Amino acid sequence: MDDGGKAWRLEAALTQRDPSARLRAAMAAGTRPDPHFVEVLVARCAVEPDLSVREMLTWALVRHDQDLTVDRLVLELRSDILQARSQALHTLSKIGNRRAWPAVTRELLLHPDDTVARTAWRTAAGLVPPDRRSALAELLVTQLGRGGRDVQLSLCRALAMLGDTALPAVRRARVDPRPEIRAHAIATERLILDPEEPPFAFLDVTGT
């Protein structure tokens, strides 16, 4: 079968009604990578409704050549489809190629959609070069107090990924006049200092 035919078959398999069938198709694409699959996999990430299938699509893309996937995923960060942006960020975080770092823009880090922003925080914290870690921490700290428990936990974890570099910015936020920001800063500092803290336990200070 020619290369175009293989891509067409993958696209057809990824649009079946049964999520299990789509999951198997994504798994097969990752098991036997092919350069012609990259466009099909990225396009499906933008619209796939099932979380498990999206995770398998990401796995399949990670299995492909980074010279093909990274640039294509970076293009997806400018999509009008929010899921396309968040899933591209998620996949870039899994690939871990710092060539994508410049594409994780301030716009994405401060995005009003919580899913996009949370994924951008994690991706940026994983890809940031050492000489940009402090500046990233300063920007992320501006989001303290945002959203509900899950969003706040995501920000805590992203700042914790930056380690001691984030502590000066986090500690300045502890004296913020807004109580929700002070509480979130305290919780974040606790997680940075003790990464073994049980999940969610450190956010018990929020609202106190």
Phi-psi domain of 96 (left: phi exceeds 0; alpha: psi -120 through 50; beta: other)? left
| Number of structural domains in the chain | 1
CA–CA distance from 185 to each of 97, 120, 202, 207 (Å)? 30, 19, 11, 12
Q: Is residue 179 part of a domain?
A: yes
Q: Say what the pLDDT of residue 45 is.
A: 98
Rg over CA atoms, the chain: 19
CB–CB of 85/115 below 8 Å? no
Q: Is residue 188 part of a domain?
A: yes
Say how far apart CA 60 and CA 147 lie, in whole Å.
32
Q: Is residue 135 part of a domain?
A: yes
Q: Is residue 154 part of a domain?
A: yes
5 band by pLDDT with thresholds 50, 70 and 90: confident
For 177-189, write each residue's pLDDT tens digit.
999 999 999 999 9
CB–CB of 155/140 below 8 Å? yes
Q: Say what the pLDDT of residue 88 is.
A: 98
Say how far apart CA 200 and CA 198 lie, in whole Å.
6
- Amino acid making up residue 68: L
Q: Is residue 79 part of a domain?
A: no
Range of the structural domain that residue 183 is part of: 128-208
Q: Is residue 94 part of a domain?
A: no
CB–CB of 117/167 below 8 Å? no
Q: Is residue 152 part of a domain?
A: yes
127 band by pLDDT with thresholds 50, 70 and 90: very high
Q: Is residue 112 part of a domain?
A: no
pTM: 0.92
